Amino acid sequence: MDIEQNLLNKLVSENNEFKSLYDEHNELKNQVDELNNRKFLTPEQEVEKKKLQKQKLSKKDRLMEIVGENQPSTT
């Protein structure tokens, strides 16, 4: 995610929903990375990887909504 570090730190420390989503997103990322690092995946592992990727994307979408709501206005 491309979020300014100061805003990221502020949201993680002050917004419980953001912190929870951020932690879950990172855990999902680690699980997907682990599957991606395997030489071969069983069909079950492929299905699990796709499921994890969808969950990760859903969490990222919500994180970005929260970031958008908390970014200073440029007008």
DSSP string covering 26-52, please? HHHHHHHHHHHTSS---HHHHHHHHHH
Give me the residue spans of the domains in the chain: 5-67
**pLDDT attached to residue 4:** 86
Q: What is the pLDDT of residue 1?
A: 59
pLDDT per residue as tens digits for the range 16-74: 999 999 999 999 999 999 999 999 999 999 999 999 999 999 999 999 999 999 987 66
pTM of the model: 0.85
Q: Which pLDDT score is estimated for 67?
A: 94
